[in-house]
Amino acid sequence: MTKISLPPVVPSEAAVRAFLKSAFEEYQWFVPARSLDEQIDPLRIDYDTLVAGFLGVRSLMVLAKTDRDFFLFSARKSDGPPHVGSLTWDAALSRAKNAKWRDAHAQQVTALMKLFNSPLAISATAEDERRKCTQFIPSPAGFGQRWTWTVRDPSEGLAGVFWRNFYGPPLLEMFGDRLNAVPESQRRTVADGIVLVEPYALPTDAMTPAAEAAEQQLREVLGPECFYDQVARTMPRRVPDLPHPGALSS
């Protein structure tokens, strides 16, 4: 799965349309079959309806016929936390074995981060993302457990290090010169203001001893205070300086 964090504004109609056309025509992520209960004709995609649907409820989910491939596009609600908006899409892990797919993936994520002015994007297996971003804690009632986030969104810091970590300007500013200490074999600039940090070659390498060691090394280099502490279950002590909704135009 790949998750691109969105700034605290509703994307413009032009940006939403550009994303949809890129996803289905240029990137060809998958052949769209339906949006929730509405069927989609892949030969005649009604972009007007999809764009209007997103802008109406600030959310859009489009799925392939098999449901294996899909994306969920959600902007912040007017009365909700400002930085929870995201674009998440799932694709078969087997695709990442192909070097051309990996190159295209990096280019596409970078382009979408630029389109939406995103501060952060991560890519990982669903299992690795889930274990780092969510947890069960004791219920306030005194028995059982309840589900909660570790880090809800980038304004609270970083949940961890993943297979691919695309750091935009706010994260680059937070890390400062420490980012230059990351080995060049694990770090590359993919666009002006966006650096990709990749601790291991494939997403399926995650959760192995070698991957765990590589992630730990990166946390130490970049600053452990920037990341959620999975052992102590404590929040990051340092967070990026993200724009307040009032400072941005909708």
pLDDT digits (tens, 9 = 90+) for 68-126: 899 999 998 776 778 889 999 999 999 999 999 999 999 999 999 999 999 999 999 99
Q: Which of 32-46, 48-62, 64-78, 198-212 has the lowest mean pLDDT?
A: 64-78
CA angle centred on 189, ends 122 and 4, rounded to 5°: 25
Nearest Cα to 9, choosing from 74, 88, 76?
Answer: 76
Between β-strands 2-5 and 120-123, what pairing exists: parallel, antiparallel or unpaired? antiparallel
In the prediction, which pLDDT does 77 show? 77
Spans of all domains in the chain: 1-118, 122-241
Q: Which residue has the higher pLDDT, 167 or 36?
A: 167
Distances (CA, A) of 219 to 186, 190, 213: 13, 21, 10
In the prediction, which pLDDT does 182 show? 98
Q: What average pLDDT does the segment 1-29 reach?
A: 97
pLDDT at 50 over 70: yes
pLDDT at 136 over 70: no
Kindly report, residue by residue over 176-200, the tens digit of the pLDDT.
Answer: 999 999 999 999 999 999 999 999 9
In the prediction, which pLDDT does 247 show? 52
pLDDT at 161 over 90: yes
In the prediction, which pLDDT does 109 show? 99
pLDDT at 17 over 50: yes
Q: What is the 3-state secondary structure (H, E, C) of 140-183?
A: CCCCCEEEEECCCCHHHCECCCCCEEEECHHHHHHHHHHHHHCC
In the prediction, which pLDDT does 135 show? 77
Between β-strands 120-123 and 70-74, what pairing exists: parallel, antiparallel or unpaired? unpaired
Token output for 60: 């859009």
Kindly report, residue by residue over 194-248, the tens digit of the pLDDT.
Answer: 999 999 999 999 999 999 999 999 999 999 999 999 889 999 999 999 987 765 5
Give the total residue count for the chain.
250
Q: What average pLDDT does the segment 129-138 reach?
A: 82
